[in-house]
Amino acid sequence: MSFRRAQLSVAALFGSLGFQYSTWAARIPALTDRMHLSAAQVGVLLLAAGVGAVVSAPLVPKLMSTFGSRILAVSAVVVLVTVLACLAVVPLYPLALVVLLADGVAVGCLNVAMNAQGAALESTFERTTMAKLHATFSGGIFAGALLASAVTSVTGSVPAHFAVAGLILLGLTLAARPALLTSEPAPAEPAGRRWSLPTGAVLWLGLAMLLATITEGAMTDWSALYLKEITHAADHLLPLGIAVTSGMMLLARLFADGWRDRWGDRTVVVAGGTLAGAGLAAGLLAGGAYPALAGFACVGLGMAAVSPCLYMAAARHGTTALTAAATMSTTGLLLGPPAIGFAGLHWSMAVVVGTAWLTVLCALAMRWPARSPAPVG
């Protein structure tokens, strides 16, 4: 099997995760109207998916050791398609909470399994590719949003939209499955030992992942409001906070594997976090909308390769470390940005500068494993 064929198959998993999330997130207004939900109930609904991902943490190492990442990834996508089918018709709020909880568990499983596949791909072919795979995740989110826009321009039917999306996901998975890697899974834990929290170097890795994803997520949650309330930017500039961050991140991830080859993962993470914090700090101190946008672009550029590098480091430490990294990533994205809000809007972006630089300190403190380990299942 060629590297390119395997790479495309693993990329399909990353793209599927972003596509599925974007698909149902784009129809939250329709789901809210159908079930007559308040803003607080919508918040709890979104939180249910995050809780599900955290709940999956102790389950994933056992599932990985039993089935391997290939079977776990394919099974998780099937569950995510089922989630879309259920969300399309679920009539009651409590049932929707259960469905989103299951979605979170499946997301947690797929997140670990697809990154394990990415790590195995790099190890098997001795070529860096994790950053490009994460770029595919971003592309999946974009594609899901485009499909939502296209379908809703024709029909407002959520079942019709989710049926089309589900067929696309199943088609991608069926096409990808034959070329997914089948290396034997690494044992999640020694025989007879229960799952436990990681310790030592892996804690630094998990903390770095938490801080990095808080930094990323804050751009989505707070950039538009910061531009409006603090810089008093014109309305047409408000969406550009998210656009410049995500666009720069997607572009950088297409080239970041070359940076990893040239300078190494540790250097890329340290340099990226430093750039993100320094660029954002400079933009905030300069004042105004356009300096702020330049700072947001620095965050996208600097943080683009951080998560891929940390996922690779976690995979080389073993399945439990990879699960912990994925859990911390989800926690950072879902819970970190709201927590930043308690600092107040004036200080929210200053906190992001701090999380970017603390990511650097964690990267300097943690032990980075060798680049060519045995493949992870």
- Locate 70 and state its tokens: 């290939």
Q: How far apart are CA 39 and CA 26, in angstroms?
A: 16
Q: Which candidate, 139, 141, 122, 128, places its Cα nearest to that of 255? A: 128
pLDDT at 165: 96
Q: How far apart are CA 263 and CA 105, in angstroms?
A: 36
Q: Which candidate, 205, 204, 221, places its Cα nearest to that of 340? A: 221
Q: How far is CA 70 from CA 105, 368, 377, in A?
A: 17, 26, 8
Alpha carbon 176 to its chain centroid, in Å, reads 20
pLDDT at 374: 39
Contact 303, 276 (CB under 8 A): yes
- Locate 226 and state its tokens: 């910061």
CATH of domain 3-179: 1.20.1250.20
Half-sphere exposure (Cβ direction) of 304: Cα atoms closer than 13 Å:
30
Residues of the chain within CATH 1.20.1250.20 domain(s) are 3-179, 201-365
Phi-psi sector, 370: left (phi>0), alpha (psi -120 to 50), beta? beta
Q: How far apart are CA 14 and CA 10, in angstroms?
A: 7
pLDDT at 224: 80
Q: What are phi and psi of 370, to 5 degrees?
A: -60, 155
Contact 24, 42 (CB under 8 A): no
Q: Which candidate, 84, 305, 313, 130, places its Cα nearest to that of 216? A: 305
pLDDT at 328: 85
Tell me which of 3.20.20.70, 2.102.10.10, 1.20.1250.20, 3.30.300.340 is the CATH number of domain 201-365.
1.20.1250.20
Q: How far apart are CA 301 and CA 339, in angstroms?
A: 24
Q: For residue 36, which amino acid is it?
A: H
- Locate 247 and state its tokens: 């666009």
Q: How far apart are CA 168 and CA 364, in angstroms?
A: 42
pLDDT at 344: 74
Contact 169, 80 (CB under 8 A): yes
pLDDT at 209: 93
Contact 120, 181 (CB under 8 A): yes
- Written as tens digits, the pLDDT of the chain (377 aa) is 799 999 999 999 999 998 998 888 888 888 888 999 887 788 788 778 878 888 888 888 889 889 999 999 999 999 999 999 999 999 899 999 999 999 989 998 999 999 999 999 998 998 999 999 999 988 888 888 888 888 988 988 999 999 999 999 999 999 999 999 985 444 444 444 454 545 566 788 989 999 999 998 888 767 888 888 889 988 888 878 878 888 898 899 999 999 999 999 999 999 999 999 999 999 999 999 999 999 999 999 999 999 999 999 988 888 778 888 888 887 777 667 667 767 777 788 899 999 999 999 999 998 887 665 434 44
